[in-house]
Chain A
């Protein structure tokens, strides 16, 4: 709750709205005890007194009634009616929406078509019809306004409920023996409540306006009772001669609605998990760079990641996702980067082309050199030209990386045309050629498919074709086969292998699967808690892992053909990277850890191609077993 308020008041407009609204509500609540004149006492002799006149701070209206008193009483009534209407509409509308969304099928259909019919009338016409049927009066105006707004809530809440009703925890509740009404009340409602509050906060202002509108037309509050709408209505005839009688209630309506809307938007932004996570703050085109210390010298490698440090700065916390990683690839080489979730392998990959979302991502040190040129801190235009052209990415989920509304051919052509000036015709031919290269059958007709018309394996082939579109030198593949079935995975891996052989592509292959690495990669780097703990030729590392983490991780992975067995496990959990222990990050889970492991910085050391970050490695790096 406190976190929510903090978040809410960080938004200055929402804070201002809250302030104004609180002031108005306080004054209005105190109105009965304030020394005000009777709002309905007429004094025709004093009619149309100017503001700041004797005894009447805001002047008087056409019957000589005190405007200040009428304004406060009127605001009180208007607010009460608006909020009541919102509560009624929210309760009825949400109930309808939850029931329709939860049961679905025929019930949903009947309810929602009824709601649609209600929505088909212009709202003011509907409200007029309701008031006409029930007769004028504030209570009837309230009913009309509430009824008119029920569909808004019903549709909103139904949409959210449909998404929630398919979630697994609802199935779990049914298996735990809960009935429908209990599921609705205890499982769905608490999850829908924030949405109801958001919808209410953004509609209360609107409902106050609608009530005022009905009163303005003479259908709401009846004289002499004052509410903001009727005050405006009565002042209308004197608008030119005595403008203050209209301006006073008009200004109050403006203040109330404006403050409620600003606060409502703030509440929505603070409650909505998507907006809360920073969807509103548009990420920059490249990752922020804030490098301290020296920039490493250039090397001869095709792509070299040197001492790279990438952090996420969230509030006062700094998550060191990548803590000094050095990697390199030569043409035609495949480097495997293996690690569990949170080990920093994906962030390393995204840092190469400055694709880490900023804020909160910051590259805090090191360099990324492509053919010797430092890409960290390079101008956006340099990076843009190299992205997809020299260094291309393949991501895990092709369904979320392909645009759902464009045909795949169009997307491929766009990838080519953003780097090369060629005609649409040529781009299309090239796209067909690419689809053929990734062995999509019948590419001439497949090119006009939308992504949803293809299977997962086919979509990933399109993703690879797109990465190949500009004949890059390096492909960074981030778990490209994790979402695929094994038979499809085998096809995709052999495709990557052929492309590498035929085109001399360098591949950085990020995965958590030792089997895949063993088949595809020449060299292997193992990451843990943002650092490389071991690297070397794939076969050597897999056969005689030097770091205890590598050894135990390999033991955790069951291999086909091993039969029924007890699996090895690593106790504990990987550390959170905002508070890494000194020394070896694996020490708390390692059964060989000594006091020395828990202090200082342990370097990545080794000979030739192999290196390990461990004081007591499993094998020394000439290949012999170390005595334990």
Chain B
């Protein structure tokens, strides 16, 4: 079954209207994109800063209203940007665990608010439910009456996960959930997430910039560049046999023990300017395979191989 389906979802941030003349066309943070996530699947989303991954995540949970497109959760379209309506179906785990917890509220108040607001549970039901949730994220219940600053990053992130679980959602968006954590703690949280998924039958959308992490936890991976999907494929194949040159660049840039140090890209390129997007493929300026066609026409996302899709006029051979 399809847990989450996104069709032509796009977000354009309007520019401020100047004193004279009309406002510009706006910044296209997310260009129309479509994909779907099956129930129980983990879809990884990778891309570099500015590729639109956080904007996408915020639209999916209703914190931002899409400019166009439809979000469907378990076959039902959600058309309002009302976090409370989204809250019972889809929840969000934030990147910075400390700043996602109100410093002046106890952990109990933080975890209990979805139960109160979304489910209107009675006090005794809440107590029971919080006990269950805390047991499943391996936190002691005596943490409940403490304040966020008393916790380490890994513990705070588990509290953030507990809060997301409290809403009993079908889907959890994990926005760089381990980037702020040390490696020894990172693995604890990733393994916990895997256990919770099996236990509660959750569906994950895992957003990160760390290729090794996303490969380790995902079933399928979406690669974003400049607000658009450039490649979708199976996690085990996408970096070893990429079809899009950008995916290959990413894979070759990841630091790896035993590989000689050389910049995979010698040209001193910068990301395209979002205010003044280039015509055609956004990656053409950095791409060794780019031709005149790439600079004119934006390549559509096409099926290449069994379950791999890439948006490229001149895809790499496998």
- Assess the A497–B261 pair: CB atoms within 8 A: yes
> Considering only CB atoms, which chain B residue lies closest to A171 in the complex?
B63
CA distance A408 to B184 in the complex (A): 38
B83, B250, B260: the one contacting A486 at CB < 8 Å is: B250
Contact B183 A340 (CB under 8 A): yes
Report the nearest A residue to B219, measured CB to CB: A564
B180-218 vs A, Cβ < 8 Å mask (1 yes, 0 no):
001111111011001000000000000001011101111
A507 CA / B251 CA spacing, docked (Å)? 26
Choose from A176, A486, A495 the contact partner of B167 (Cβ within 8 Å). Answer: A176
Taking a contact as CB atoms closer than 8 A, the residue among A178, A561, A562, A567 that contacts B191 in the complex is: A567
Q: Within the complex, which residue of A169, A182, A458, A520 is in contact with B101, where a contact is CB–CB below 8 Å?
A: A169
Chain B residues lying within 8 Å of A518, measured Cβ to Cβ, are 255-258
Q: Do A558 and B268 touch (CB < 8 A)?
A: no
Contacts A190-B104, A441-B268 hold; do A487 and B84 have CB atoms under 8 A apart? no
Q: In the complex, which residues of chain B have a beta carbon less than 8 angstroms from the beta carbon of A571?
A: 188
Say yes or no: A565 contacts B182, CB within 8 Å: no
State how many angstroms separate the Cβ of B183 from the closest Cβ of chain A: 5
Q: Which chain A residues numbered 235 to 273 have a C-beta less than 8 Å away from chain B?
A: none
Cβ contact within 8 Å between B216 and A562:
yes
A177-B83, A569-B191, A571-B188 in contact; A487/B236 too (CB < 8 A)?
no
Closest Cβ of chain A: how far from B282's Cβ, in Å? 14
Residues of A within 8 A of B188 (CB): 569-571
Tell me if A314 is interfacial: C-beta within 8 Å of chain B: no
B:274-318 near A, CB below 8 Å: none
Q: Of A148-156, A302-310, A509-517, which stretch is located at the interface?
A: A509-517
Taking a contact as CB atoms under 8 Å apart, the answer to whether A172 and B92 are in contact is yes
B258 to chain A, nearest CB (A): 6
Known contacts being A168-B99, A519-B261, A564-B218, is A487 close to B183, with CB within 8 Å?
no
Q: Which of B154, B182, B236, B261 contacts A563 (CB 8 A)?
A: B236
- Docked Cα-Cα span, A564 to B41, in Å, equals 13
Specify which of B103, B187, B253 lies most central, judged by the most chain A CB atoms within 10 Å of its CB. B187
B117, A519: Cβ atoms closer than 8 Å: no
Say if the beta carbon of A557 comes within 8 Å of chain B.
yes
Q: Quick check: is A490 within 8 A (CB to CB) of the other chain?
A: yes
For B160, the closest partner residue in chain A by CB is A172
- Least Cβ distance of A325 to chain B in Å? 19
B152 in contact (CB, < 8 A):
yes
- Chain A 514-533 against B: per-residue CB contact (8 Å), 1 yes, 0 no? 11101110000000000000
CA distance A175 to B212 in the complex (A): 30
Say whether B113 contacts A568, CB under 8 Å: no
Q: From A563, which residue of chain B is reached at the shortest CB distance?
A: B236
In whole angstroms, what is the CA distance A313 to B305 when docked? 62
- B86 touches which of A175, A488, A489 (Cβ 8 Å): A175
A513→B87 CA distance, assembly (Å) = 36
Q: How many residues of chain A get a CB closer than 8 Å to chain B's CBs?
A: 66
CB of B77 closer than 8 Å to a CB of A: no
Does chain B have a CB within 8 A of A608?
A: no
Alpha-carbon distance A33/B108, docked complex (angstroms): 49
Interface centre among B182, B215, B239 (most CB of A within 10 A): B182
Contact (A487, B113) CB under 8 Å given A175-B61, A569-B184, A571-B188: no
Q: B263 in the interface, Cβ–Cβ < 8 Å?
A: yes
Q: Does A573 contact B (CB under 8 A)?
A: yes
Q: Mark B72-101, 1 if CB is under 8 A from A, else 0.
A: 000000000001101100011011100111
Tell which of A174, A486, A564 touches B217, judged by Cβ atoms closer than 8 Å.
Answer: A564
Assess whether A569 is in contact with B215, with CB atoms less than 8 Å apart: no
Contact (Cβ within 8 A) A560 B183:
no
When distances are taken between beta carbons in the complex, the residues of chain A under 8 Å from B103 are 169, 191
Most buried by A among B62, B63, B86, B113: B113
| B216 in contact with A573 (CB, 8 Å) | no
Q: Give complex CA distance A516, B86 in Å.
A: 41
Known A-B contacts A176-B87, A176-B114, A556-B183; the reply to A489 vs B190 at CB < 8 A is: no
Check B48 for interface membership: any CB of A closer than 8 A: yes
Distance in Å from the Cβ of A102 to the closest Cβ of chain B?
14
When the two chains form their complex, are residues A169 and B191 in contact, meaning their CB atoms are under 8 A apart? Answer: no
Q: Which A residues touch B268, using CB under 8 A?
A: 439-441, 491
User: Which of B84, B99, B102, B110 lies at the interface centre, i.e. has the most chain A CB atoms within 10 A of its CB?
Assistant: B102
Q: A63 interface residue, CB < 8 Å from B?
A: no
Which B residues touch A497, using CB under 8 A? 261
In whole Å, how far is A338's beta carbon from the nearest beta carbon of chain B? 10
Q: Which residue of A lies closest to B104 (CB)?
A: A190
Other-chain contact of A513, B91, B235, B255 (Cβ < 8 Å): B255
B216 touches A564 (CB 8 A): yes
Determine if B262 is an interface residue (Cβ-Cβ < 8 Å): yes
Q: Which residues of B contact A (CB under 8 A)?
A: 48-49, 58, 61-63, 83-84, 86-87, 91-92, 94-96, 99-105, 110, 113-114, 117-118, 152, 154, 160, 163, 167, 182-188, 190-191, 194, 209, 211-213, 215-219, 235-236, 239-240, 249-265, 268, 270-271
> Can you give 12 contacting A-B residue pairs, CB < 8 Å?
A173-B102, A176-B167, A186-B105, A190-B102, A190-B105, A191-B102, A486-B255, A515-B255, A515-B257, A516-B255, A559-B212, A567-B190
Binding site for B on A (CB under 8 A): 167-169, 171-179, 182, 186-187, 190-191, 340-341, 439-441, 455-458, 485-491, 493-495, 497, 512-516, 518-520, 542, 552-553, 556-571, 573-574
Given contacts A172-B163, A564-B217, 16 further A-B contacts (CB under 8 A): A168-B94, A169-B99, A175-B114, A177-B87, A177-B113, A190-B104, A441-B268, A457-B270, A490-B253, A491-B263, A493-B255, A515-B256, A542-B257, A560-B256, A569-B188, A574-B184
